[in-house]
């Protein structure tokens, strides 16, 4: 794996959700960790699975499967956490499986594929066409903003 980040490449933290492969720019990711115990929040929107105690920091966990309209995982496997950071507030995304961190060449960046539809499309800014698969780039701001339900008051 290359470790030099040039202007032409970006570094992404990746994960799997159902049969999709996502990447978030590392600058937006605080950390990734395995399943953490959560406290449910009654009356919260259903995508909010609960709150996590992250070394004293209280982080809401968003059920990304639900957010993207996927059914709950067939085997009830415990999700993993991708903790993203926006404006010094942390939010954890619950994903199926964590992938590697690696660099991608900007040249292979493309618009979101035609075949992708539904909620996923709203939160993708584009995709990188990797040799063996497509990495969908997640726009965290959009993901959280739409989540809020008040796009105008969202993070700024």
Task: Measure the CA angle with vertex 19, ends 126 and 3; round to 5°.
Answer: 55
Give the containing element (helix H, strand E) for 54.
Answer: strand 48-54
Both tokens of 132, joined, read 């063996």
The answer to whether residues 13 and 24 touch, using CB atoms and an 8 Å cutoff, is yes
Least spacing, CB of residue 54 vs another protein, in Å: 10
Least spacing, CB of residue 39 vs another protein, in Å: 4
Q: Which residues bind another protein (CB under 8 A)?
A: 37-44, 48, 50-53, 56, 58, 60, 89, 91, 144, 147-148, 155-156
Least spacing, CB of residue 8 vs another protein, in Å: 34
The answer to whether residues 151 and 142 touch, using CB atoms and an 8 Å cutoff, is no
Q: Which is nearer to another protein, 51 or 124 (CB)?
A: 51
Q: Which is nearer to another protein, 87 or 117 (CB)?
A: 87
Q: Strand ranges (DSSP E) for 73-133? A: 80-86, 89-95, 97-105, 109-110, 124-129
Least spacing, CB of residue 84 vs another protein, in Å: 12
Least spacing, CB of residue 12 vs another protein, in Å: 24
Q: Which is nearer to another protein, 74 or 153 (CB)?
A: 153
Residue 150 makes CB contacts below 8 A (sequence gap 6+) with: none
Q: Which is nearer to another protein, 53 or 107 (CB)?
A: 53
Starting at the edge strand that comes first in sequence, how are the strands of the sheet with 48-54 ordered? 29-33, 80-86, 89-95, 57-63, 48-54
Q: Which is nearer to another protein, 41 or 116 (CB)?
A: 41
């Amino acid at each position: 794996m290359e470790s030099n980040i040039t202007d032409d490449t970006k570094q992404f933290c990746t994960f799997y959700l159902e049969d999709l492969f996502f990447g978030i720019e590392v600058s937006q990711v605080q950390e990734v960790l395995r399943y953490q115990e959560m406290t449910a929040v009654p009356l919260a929107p259903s995508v909010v699975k609960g709150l996590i105690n992250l070394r004293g920091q209280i982080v809401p966990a968003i059920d990304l499967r639900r957010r993207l309209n996927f059914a709950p995982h067939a085997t009830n496997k415990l999700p993993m956490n991708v903790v993203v950071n926006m404006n010094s507030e942390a939010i954890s995304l619950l994903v199926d499986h964590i992938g590697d961190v690696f660099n991608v060449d900007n040249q292979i960046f493309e618009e979101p594929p035609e075949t992708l539809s539904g909620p996923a499309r709203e939160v993708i800014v584009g995709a990188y066409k990797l040799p063996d698969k497509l990495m969908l780039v997640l726009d965290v701001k959009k993901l959280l903003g739409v989540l809020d339900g008040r796009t105008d008051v969202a993070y700024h």
